[in-house]
Amino acid sequence: MAAIILAAGKGTRMDSDLPKVAHEVAGRPIVWWVVDAVRRAGATPIVLVVGYGADVVREIFDGDDDDIVYVTQTEQRGTGHATACATPVLGDFAGDVLVLAGDGPLIRPRTIDAMRRVHEAAGAAATLATSVIEDPAGYGRVIRDADGRFEAIVEDRNLAPEQRSVHEVYPSYACFDAAQLFATLERVPPDEISGEIYVTEVPAVMRAAGKTVELIDAVPPEDVLSINTPAQLAEVGDILTRRLEAGVP
């Protein structure tokens, strides 16, 4: 199992010139927690997709990056494009690959382990870990078909009225068959409005091609929070500090 961690964004709402993932939370840069989780889950190599402030992100792991390969997203063209930047490193990788957001430091190795067990047992092309939360406003919703299986991830702004009652969200935890991921990314159309390519469209394209896409509700609600603002940075810091004090991995 390899990992791709998306860490190229600036974080325009952080009121800082630092790349978002370099801000400290509970004594460590945000992205350090994500790398630590995938390491403890056994992923190698770890492809860190950098962009804005790339040198700052590299410095975080200076002397501790034997298992990290850096690739650069020179244009901000969406999460799918960022993931595809890892093709030169993992295009021939025979195995599974995690695709995770670098601004989600609450991810736990045990969640990755649970997701991968389902993925392997099903021989899936993609497996998504989801969470059911009380207030899903602003989050991409996981839409299931009549049989309870994956149908699509729909962003909050695109939800149909009948979909707004869905409380199952996608916190950007995914495991893919590597070969099928990169082949499918080539077929994902750009968004009609932004022109960007989103990795969240990959599972739906796989499903339409007859591939198996699995879901596992394995993410505790408190782990869903990613960091986009200084207030969220403080909130996540409190959660991580409580975990460390309690010795809870």
Active site residue 243: no
Tell me the Cα Rg of the chain.
Answer: 17
Catalytic residue among 13, 149, 187, 242: 13
Q: From the CB of residue 192, how many other CB atoms can be counted at a distance below 10 Å?
A: 6
Q: What is the phi-psi region of residue 198: left when phi exceeds 0, alpha when psi lies from -120 to 50, beta otherwise?
A: beta
Rounded CA separation 183/187 (Å)? 7
Closest-CA residue to 156 (of 174, 176, 135, 173): 135
Rounded CA separation 23/196 (Å)? 26
Rounded CA separation 204/191 (Å)? 14
Sign of dihedral through CA atoms 12, 16, 18, 24? negative
* Residue positions annotated with a catalytic role: 13
